[in-house]
Amino acid sequence: MHNLNNKLFKVLFILVLSLGSAASYAESSKEFGDYVVHYNAFRSDTISPDVAKQYGLARANNRILINIAVLKKVMNTTGKPTKSKVTGHASNLTGQLKKLEFKEINEGNAIYYLAEAKISDGEFLKFDIQIIPEGETRPARLKFDKRFFTY
């Protein structure tokens, strides 16, 4: 029972981090000048069927979602959600590239960008993402990596 509760908590935690308001993105972030980029990558079967349907996302244990939110730093606040151009790719250890097509999601005051990709069990991906906040010309380059399991 404890293991089931622990798994349920993890799923709910990931969902809140990935599809909640921009202020709730706390898992991974990186500062780029006047901006903070929050990011996460997780299996798409962790989101609810209703959320998947609402945003046209496929739910499967061999698919992942990459979630990016860009906040402009504003003193004494958590930041202002900022429209951005987000592009990128992921590569695995054999050098195969997976182009990431990000779509913008507006949810209340939050703006975030989602991309989907297929994965194999145990696949280790290196993400290379470029972000250009609206009104800026220089891209911020976000790099991170993560291993995924389809169990």
The dihedral sign for the CA sequence 105, 110, 115, 118: negative
Answer yes or no: are the C-beta atoms of 102 and 87 closer than 8 Å. Answer: yes
Instruction: Residue 97: name the closest of 140, 62, 128, 59 by CA.
Output: 128
Q: What tens digit of pLDDT does each residue of 48-96 get?
A: 999 999 999 999 999 999 999 999 999 999 999 999 999 999 999 999 9
pLDDT tens digits, 97-128: 999 999 999 998 999 999 999 999 999 999 99
Domain boundaries, the chain: 2-147
pLDDT of residue 7: 41
pLDDT at 6: 38
pLDDT at 2: 42
**pTM, to two decimals:** 0.80
What kind of fold does domain 2-147 have according to CATH? Immunoglobulin-like (2.60.40)
pLDDT at 140: 96
